[in-house]
Amino acid sequence: MKILGEKIRHYRKLRGISQSELADGICTQATVSLIEKKDKIPSMEILVRICERLGITMNLVIVNDDSQIYSIISDIKKSFYQDDFDGISDKLGKLNNINVNNKQEIKLIHFFHGLIEYVTSKNYDKAIFDFNRAMNVNIANVDMYDILIDIFTAKAYINKKSLDEAKVYYDQAKDLIKSSLDKIGDENYHDSILIYANMSDLSLKLDENQKAMEYANEGIFIARKEQTLFKLDEMYCYLAEAGTREGQKADEDYIKAYVISSVSEDKRVFEKLKSKVKDMHLNIF
């Protein structure tokens, strides 16, 4: 259980009473201060009496662990969609003192810890360790993050120059995608696009150019259907690169990637494409 000290303070101020007045006959003023500033959980008797004096129910100022964990993991996913890895790390820290029992949530926590090791620390051995911990959580039903775990495990092995191991997890991801096509289409479009964008990138890294184009096109189809720019510049970039490798004229895809990236909040793709477009002498407008 977590107490929302700022809510106690809000309702106290709303009633126009001081900490001492709220504490009178119930506890010390210092206890009220600790509740408000440090989210200190008092005894149940004190909490009940404080809520009675404020004229509120306890459910307005307390959050149980399950609700708190769900909220934090939802925030972590939002940070993942925004490539905000510092945000992911910060929110994972909030889970350190909470007892997590739900297997799905345990799997996600291991995955995101691995993701931080992969992206931020570039500790690929530790990332693989965390990804394997996520894989070893025994859950009957496959979800989108099972696919992402395989994808990022393969990417970590690529960074370790272990291509044989990378291909094992790449093939696992391909099989999961093939067996989960209906589910991918029904899921949160962010997760579906992340799968196809990262599979396209992974395919390029393993010289699977045809598969890279296939996955990029699947992700582009979902993005267009959902009318979102989410990862669209990256997917056009992967599509163009794979097409070029296959001897196709990919100017149009490079231009689409460049234009979309120019209006995107994340300028990484735009900076990457600026020199590419210049070197190819592409007529943007």
Average pLDDT (234-250) is 94
How far apart, in Å, do the first and last CA atoms of the chain sit? 58
pLDDT of residue 281 exceeding 70, the answer is no
The pLDDT of residue 186 is 62
Give the DSSP letter of residue 66. H
Do the domains at 2-63 and 122-279 have one common CATH topology? no
- CA nearest 173: which of 190, 194, 189? 194
Mean pLDDT of the chain: 90
Q: Name 116's Cβ contacts closer than 8 Å, sequence gap at least 6.
A: 85, 88, 89, 92
Q: Pick the residue with more confidence: 31 or 38? A: 31
Number of CB atoms found within 10 A of residue 93's CB:
10
CATH value of 2-63 in 1.10.3720.10, 1.20.1530.20, 1.10.357.10, 1.10.260.40: 1.10.260.40
Burial of 68 (0-12, 13-18, 19+ CB in 10 A): middle
Average pLDDT (191-196) is 95
Q: Beta strands of 190-280 (E only): which ranges?
A: none
Give the DSSP letter of residue 161. T
Helices (H) and strands (E) in the chain, counts: 16, 2
Average pLDDT (149-169) is 98
Sequence length of the chain is 285
The domain ranges of the chain are 2-63, 122-279
Give the DSSP letter of residue 3. E
Give the DSSP letter of residue 2. E
pLDDT of residue 181 exceeding 90, the answer is no
The runs of H, that is alpha helices, within 136-188 are 144-159, 163-179, 181-186
Q: Percent helix, strand, coil in the chain (nearest 5)?
A: 75, 0, 25
pLDDT of residue 65 exceeding 70, the answer is no
Task: Give the predicted TM-score (pTM) of the model.
Answer: 0.76
Per-residue pLDDT tens for 108-140? 999 999 999 999 999 999 999 999 999 999 877
The HSE-up count of residue 244 (CA atoms within 13 Å, CB side) is: 14
**Of 32-36, 99-103, 151-155, 252-256, the least confident:** 99-103
Q: Pick the residue with more confidence: 67 or 216? A: 216
Q: Name 62's Cβ contacts closer than 8 Å, sequence gap at least 6.
A: 1, 2, 3, 4, 47
Instruction: Please give the Cα distance from 267 to 20 (Å, whole number).
Output: 52
Q: Spelled out in words, what is the top-level CATH class assigned to the domain 122-279?
A: mainly alpha
- Residue 157: phi and psi, rounded to 5, are -65, -35
Average pLDDT (192-217) is 97
pLDDT of residue 285 exceeding 60, the answer is no
